[in-house]
């Protein structure tokens, strides 16, 4: 498979103290792949998205390479070649009708109509403001912007927290629908089961470092192909393994 996105030796740090939050992150995402980045809350997952889109807090900076089809990822690519599906529906502009917000990504009326129908959204949603939408509709609009755009790389940051089981399933299916031969998706999540459901590969983030990148089938059966203790602990914590994490040490042996 051909690499679409390559992240090489990326470190994110505080400008003044130089303290690293993310350390030497390297990750390759191929065309047509869905890759999940999993880790505990506060492990720095969302910082990776902020670095990719050049929207880090002003107190932070980064070093390393981030490439899209061998070209350096620039902030000018945001919304065009790369699209972020943010965590919160508050990312929608409360003072702008949905139609205007969608048209920031495409003016192709037929394309917009087709994708809205695919997401079970009626045309009248275009004339509404965000506060007039249900939570599920607002989340689907965020995904719609990614589908409607011509972006080849989509990052979905924590797309499932707070959703009931039905809404969660629908969200994962929407994200899965993004997958195509010339696109790739990075899903940033602490919902390990969601990662298992739709990802091709799972990258495990622990204490600011990617400690393992494995095909999701490595989490089947006994998990014998897993290497790092933290990854093994994630496998043991799965419901089918009876949440067996007692006595597990995450330190590298």
Cross-sheet strand order for the sheet of 3-14: 20-30, 3-14, 60-68, 71-72
Q: What percent of the chain has pLDDT over 90?
A: 55
Query: Could you count the other beta carbons within 10 Å of the beta carbon of residue 42?
Result: 9
Considering the four listed CATH numbers 3.40.190.290, 3.40.50.300, 1.10.3720.10, 2.40.128.20, the one that applies to the domain covering 1-81+152-167+178-218 is: 3.40.50.300
Per-residue pLDDT reduced to its tens digit, 112-143: 998 888 888 888 999 999 999 988 889 889 98
> Which pLDDT value is given to residue 146?
85
Helix or strand or coil: residue 16? Answer: coil
Task: Determine contact, residues 227/63, Cβ cutoff 8 Å.
Answer: no
Q: Name which residue leads in pLDDT, 74 or 234.
A: 74
CA 27 vs CA 53, 91, 97, 194, 205: distances in Å: 16, 27, 37, 20, 11
Sequence-distant (6+) residues with CB within 8 A of 3 are 28, 29, 30, 31
Q: Where are the domains of the chain?
A: 1-81+152-167+178-218, 91-150
Region for residue 76 given its phi and psi (left: phi exceeds 0; alpha: psi -120 to 50; beta: otherwise): alpha
This prediction has a pTM of 0.88
What is the tens place of the pLDDT at every residue in 174-200? Answer: 888 878 778 999 999 988 889 989 999
* Mean pLDDT (whole number) for 54-62: 95
Share of the chain above pLDDT 70, in %: 94
pLDDT digit string, tens, across residues 87-109? 888 899 999 999 999 999 889 99
What's the confidence (pLDDT) of residue 167? 79
């Amino acid at each position: 498979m051909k690499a679409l996105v390559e992240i090489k030796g990326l470190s994110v740090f505080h400008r003044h103290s130089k303290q690293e939050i993310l350390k030497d992150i390297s990750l390759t995402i191929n065309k047509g792949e869905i890759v999940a980045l999993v880790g505990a809350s506060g492990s720095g997952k969302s910082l990776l998205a902020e670095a990719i889109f050049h929207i880090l807090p002003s107190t932070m900076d980064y070093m390393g390479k981030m490439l899209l089809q061998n070209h350096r990822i620039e902030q000018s690519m945001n919304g065009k070649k790369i699209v972020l599906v943010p965590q919160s529906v508050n990312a929608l502009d409360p003072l702008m009708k949905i139609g205007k917000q969608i048209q920031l990504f495409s003016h192709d009326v037929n394309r917009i109509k087709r994708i809205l129908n695919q997401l079970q959204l009626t045309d009248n949603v275009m004339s509404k403001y965000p506060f007039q939408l249900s939570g599920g509709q607002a989340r689907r609009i965020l995904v719609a912007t990614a589908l409607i755009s011509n972006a080849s790389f989509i990052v979905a940051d924590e797309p499932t927290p707070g959703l009931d089981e039905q809404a969660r399933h629908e969200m994962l299916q929407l994200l899965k629908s993004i997958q195509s031969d010339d696109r790739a998706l990075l899903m940033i999540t602490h919902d390990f089961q969601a990662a298992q459901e739709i990802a091709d590969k799972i990258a495990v983030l622990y204490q600011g470092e990617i400690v393992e990148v494995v095909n999701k089938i490595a989490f089947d059966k006994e998990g014998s192909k897993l290497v790092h203790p933290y990854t093994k602990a994630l496998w043991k914590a799965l419901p089918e393994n009876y949440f067996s994490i007692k006595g597990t040490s995450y330190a590298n042996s």
